[in-house]
Amino acid sequence: MLKNIIPQKLLKQIRPYYHGAVSLYANYYYGNPSEKIRVIGITGTKGKSSTVYMLYQLLKSQGLKVGLSSSIYFSDGKELVKNDSRNSMPGKFVLHKLISEAVKNKCQVFIVEVTSEGLVQNRHLGIHFDMAGILNLYPEHLDSHGGFNNYKKAKGILFKSLHKSKNKVIKGVSVEKLAFFNQDDNYFKFYYKIGDYKKFRIGEKSDDFRTKILKSDQNGLQFEFGYKEKIYIVKSKFIGEFNIINLSMCLAIGINLELDIENLVENIPKLKEIPGRMNIVHSEPTIIVDYAHIPVSLEKVYQTLNQVKSKGSKVISVLGSCGGGRDVWKRSEMGEIAGKMTDYTIITDEDPFDEDPMSIIEQVFKGVLKSDKIEDKTAFKILSRKDAFKKALALAKRQDIIIITGKGSENSIVRANGKKEHWNDTKEMQKLLS
């Protein structure tokens, strides 16, 4: 492998040229597939995978043939398959091939989960976007990008790409370029000013698509969605207020694909859960698996559970942090959030890569001890993820909540030299329960 031969610093400089060249050649090889289909790109720090899968389901409910590429699933318009590559925005011909197959299968739309690393590595080259949306921006991948400002700019590449994308005519119809923005996000203005195309704002104070929370509990969400002069009541079984922007983005895109808004709203309650995103895998005690792997996501998850838990119930958190030098800054912070917002905190192994897993656990645990937790009484360091699950079950009473974060629907733990150990949080917990 190249990373074993070329120094990391030089490899980082080479990657954009390598992936860019491969992407352009793949586009040529497959006959410019993105010019023959509507392509929608969704980015943001959190909620990308959820929104892409929600949108995929919603458009299919309206009779459209849809392809997609996300960290959870791939689809060529015929078959939906699990993405086990652990690459949210794949290069090396994979993405262009998927779009090509979707065109052959007569899909009208292809949805892409767009990542910051995919953009800076030029994996998007040759893809002509028609719609782009950004959900939010929070600190993540800071080591990889060399700081928050670079990370922020990386997300903006999607909108520059939209600006440069070809104006398409598909089956004799001109396709307008559109962009969608979360107006309530702190960095809304930065992205809103990029590029020349039609722009829409989504949020509580938006004049385009207005949102207002009505109810959020363990049964799901209810919120207002305002469009033009009408207000629609949207009901969803997804847990957490953070899903309002995800669902609203889907509705806004659907409306601009000239789909009936009332049919769209009616189908929101029918959407299937997103694997690894606030999945309830057991009741009594309630056991939830979620992908949250950055401080702000973790905080939102714990906040939601503290709001919906029954009186007298406790929240038991199981978490870790990834290795390989990835976002070292967040380790102690995540531990502190878990310590302050949950009743029992268990720090365990996640994806250590080439680092010592116990060293990572110690760094996260330092944050836990900044709260009022007491080691071996209300806070625990357990190297084995399976043993951590056992401890959580031992601590839990019927009315309690166990929240397992960091891996979501992933099917492996990555260890030294890229070696993958088969693991799935939901399946492993179900084995223990049975």
CATH number at residue 319: 3.90.190.20
The reply to whether 257 and 342 lie within a common domain is no
The reply to whether 259 and 195 lie within a common domain is yes
Q: What integer pLDDT is reported at residue 309 of this predicted model? A: 85
Torsion of CA 419, 356, 117, 47, to 10 degrees: 90
The reply to whether 286 and 172 lie within a common domain is no
Domain count, the chain: 2
Domain closes at, from 222, 237, 270: 270
Contacts 24+ apart (CB under 8 A), 206-215: 208/252, 209/248, 209/251, 209/252, 211/244, 211/245, 211/248, 213/241, 213/244
Q: Where are the alpha helices (DSSP H) in 237-383?
A: 243-256, 261-267, 295-308, 330-341, 357-368
The reply to whether 95 and 161 lie within a common domain is yes
CA torsion sign for 44, 47, 51, 53 is positive
The reply to whether 152 and 258 lie within a common domain is yes
The reply to whether 248 and 301 lie within a common domain is no
The reply to whether 302 and 243 lie within a common domain is no
Q: What integer pLDDT is reported at residue 1 of this predicted model? A: 46
Domain closes at, from 204, 237, 270: 270
The reply to whether 288 and 240 lie within a common domain is no
Q: Which domain holds residue 38?
A: 2-270
The reply to whether 59 and 93 lie within a common domain is yes
pLDDT tens by residue, the chain, 434 residues: 445 555 666 777 787 778 778 889 998 999 999 999 999 999 998 889 999 999 999 999 999 999 999 988 999 999 999 887 767 787 778 899 999 999 999 999 999 999 998 998 888 989 999 999 999 998 777 677 778 899 999 999 999 999 999 999 999 999 999 999 999 999 999 999 999 999 999 999 898 999 999 998 877 899 999 999 899 999 999 988 889 999 999 999 999 999 999 999 999 999 998 888 888 899 889 999 998 888 988 998 999 899 888 889 999 999 999 888 877 889 999 999 999 999 999 999 999 999 999 999 999 999 999 998 999 999 999 999 999 999 999 999 999 999 999 998 888 999 998 899 999 999 999 999 98
Q: Give the number of C-alpha atoms closer than 13 A to the C-alpha of residue 203, restricted to the C-beta side.
A: 15
Domain closes at, from 270, 303, 336: 270
Report which of 386, 313, 317, 381 is spatially closest to residue 347, judged by C-alpha positions.
381
- The model's pLDDT over 49-62, given as tens digits with 9 standing for 90+, comes to 999 999 999 999 99
Other C-beta atoms lying within 10 Å of the C-beta of residue 168: 18
Q: What integer pLDDT is reported at residue 418 of this predicted model? A: 87
Neighbouring-strand partners of residue 69:
74, 112
The reply to whether 216 and 365 lie within a common domain is no
- The model's pLDDT over 198-245, given as tens digits with 9 standing for 90+, comes to 999 999 989 899 999 999 887 789 999 999 989 999 999 998 888 999
What is the distance between the alpha carbons of residues 238 and 364, in angstroms, rounded to a whole number?
A: 29
Other C-beta atoms lying within 10 Å of the C-beta of residue 8: 9
Between the alpha carbon of residue 408 and those of residues 37, 49, 133, 174, 301, the distances in Å are 31, 11, 23, 40, 13
Q: What integer pLDDT is reported at residue 6 of this predicted model? A: 59
Pairing of strands 420-422, 401-405: unpaired
The reply to whether 266 and 283 lie within a common domain is no
Radius of gyration for the alpha carbons in the chain, expressed in angstroms and rounded = 22
Report which of 88, 123, 94, 116 is spatially closest to residue 17, judged by C-alpha positions.
123
The reply to whether 188 and 292 lie within a common domain is no
Element (H, E) at 74: strand 73-75
